[in-house]
Amino acid sequence: MKLELHNSAGIAAPGRLFDPERPWSREALRVRFGVLEHPELGVTLIDCGYGPRCYGAGAKQSFWLWLYTRIFRAELHPNGQVLSVLASKGWGPEDVQTVIVSHLHADHISELRSFTKARFIGSRRAVDALVASGWRGPLRHGSFAELLPDDYTARLSAVEDLPKLTLPLGLGRGHVLVEGALSIVPLEGHAVGHFGVYLHAERILYAVDAHWVLSALSSRLPLAGLPKRIASDVSAAETTLDRLRRFQQDGGTVIFCHEPEASCLDVS
Ligand SMILES: [Zn+2]
């Protein structure tokens, strides 16, 4: 089992928007997703990045999703698209057996409807919050129910129902996905039910959107800019960042979805 991270798209955003210590010049944020093949989980994705359902020419989408894609402009990377990456390994979308859905923001679930045979591992609270947010949900939280497969909840295995464990390196309580190998790590604050994935052997936490850039872990400044504006719970997001700082100090490796610099698991 080797987790690969791929970069589905680039978002050119002024650095100051996501980190008060960065200049205003634009930086290319990545939009990563993960691929791994595991004997228990089968062909598995962690999220699926941005794709044509958000940024394709003539994509069928609601006014709110159209507006969102005009505000957050992304450039798709053809070779980093989830279906291209799967095809390069000889797999079609129907071969995907598991999709781990870290949270329901558009840049993580854009292409979820492609995976008609997969079981989803995600947060039930995240779905409940999306339903409860009504028409305000899309623009306030960047979550779009239209991107979810119609039978999403029927195929959902809720992380809340997985067995609990105490994680190493001060990560606190989590949920067992594959015993001794893969765990779900609740990382509250960015979005309701947001979680990361811990790789025990490598001591790597894919912390998804707990922040956008690794420099936030060394600065100790309060959450600011877009990461604060988007957060579902600012105080919880800052508590999560403190936990990640301790984890890093104790020898763990943190990887974020949008960090511009390459990570040790990046393939494309
Ligand atoms: Zn997010």
pLDDT value of residue 39: 94
Q: How many angstroms is it from 211 CA to the middle of ligand 1?
A: 9
Q: How many domains does the chain have?
A: 1
Tens of pLDDT, residue by residue over 48-67, are 999 999 998 878 888 888 88
Evaluate whether residue 157 is within a structural domain. yes
Query: 10 Å Cβ neighbour count for 59?
Result: 14
- Residue 264, in any domain of the structure: no
Reference 165, options 175, 150, 157; nearest CA is: 175
Is 265 domain-assigned? no
When the pLDDT of each residue in the chain is averaged and rounded to a whole number, the result is 93
Q: What is the mean pLDDT of residues 201-224?
A: 94
Residue 263 lies in a domain: no
Least confident of 103-117, 125-139, 200-214: 125-139
Residue 8, domain member (yes or no): yes
pLDDT, tens only, 135-177 = 666 666 677 889 999 999 999 999 999 999 999 999 999 999 9
266 belongs to a structural domain:
no
List residues, by chain if needed, whose CB lies under 5 Å from ion ligand 1: 105, 209
Has residue 117 been placed in a domain? yes
Q: How far is the CA of 73 from the centre of ligand 1 (A)?
A: 15
**CATH code for the domain in which residue 32 is found:** 3.60.15.10
What is the Å distance from ligand 1's center to 154 Cα? 23
Q: pTM value? A: 0.95
The answer to whether residue 268 is domain-embedded is no
- HEC states along the chain? CCCEEEEEEEEEEEHHHCCCCCCCCEEEEEEEEEEEEECCCEEEEECCCCCHHHHCCCCCCCHHHHHHHHHCCCEECHHHCHHHHHHHCCCCHHHEEEEEECCCEHHHHCCHHHCCCCEEEECHHHHHHHHHHHHHHHHHHCECHHHCCCCCCCCEEEHHHCCEEEECCCCEEEEEEECCCEEEEECCCCCCCCEEEEECCCCEEECCCCCCCCHHHHHCCCCCHHHHHHCCCHHHHHHHHHHHHHHHHCCCEEECCCCCCCCCCECC
**66 Cα–ligand 1 center, Å:** 18
Report how far ligand 1's centroid is from the alpha carbon of 105 (Å).
5
The Å distance, Cα 91 to ligand 1 centre, comes to: 27
* C-alpha 97 – ligand 1 centre gap (Å): 23
Host domain of residue 22:
4-255
pLDDT > 70 in the chain, percent: 97
21 CA to middle of ligand 1, Å? 21
